A = this chain, B = another copy of it.
């Protein structure tokens, strides 16, 4: 009864790590490299905040940095990014299939993705694979 709540609370730090790692991977894909400033713009926080967070990511083995150089993901970081990106995609596609607007699908998936278990993810994928919900509903 209690552990459910514990999990939710401790997950918060992980969520931000996931958001950053996912973003870094995306930006590298798009631009060839990712600089701290790109994250500043994306998340709309200050340089100092990005620095703090990136320092934690380095500490936790997801990212490598060198002074005044672009950020890089470790292989652990890349794996996490891939997992997050896929999960994020599934959730967004699922919400769209549910029939909500693009904007809502984007906004909600951003928050929901971190709380979707493997089992739920598979269930969502199944729905996406076997039928389009929107006209079926």
CB within 8 Å of B: which residues of A? 1-9, 11-12, 15-16, 19, 41-44, 95, 98-101, 104, 106-108, 110-112, 114-117, 119-120, 123-124, 126-127, 130-131, 133, 136-137
Give the number of times this chain occurs in the complex, counting copies: 2
Q: Which residues of B are found within 8 Å of A3, using beta-carbon distances? A: 44
Q: Which residues of B are found within 8 Å of A99, using beta-carbon distances? A: 123, 126
A124, B110: Cβ atoms closer than 8 Å:
no
Of B5, B19, B106, B120, the residue contacting A108 (CB under 8 A) is B120
B111, A8: Cβ atoms closer than 8 Å:
yes
A43, B111: Cβ atoms closer than 8 Å:
no
A115, B123: Cβ atoms closer than 8 Å:
no
Q: Which residues of B are found within 8 Å of A98, using beta-carbon distances? A: 120, 123-124, 127
A120, B95: Cβ atoms closer than 8 Å:
yes
CA distance A1 to B38 in the complex (A): 12
Interface centre among A1, A8, A130 (most CB of B within 10 A): A8
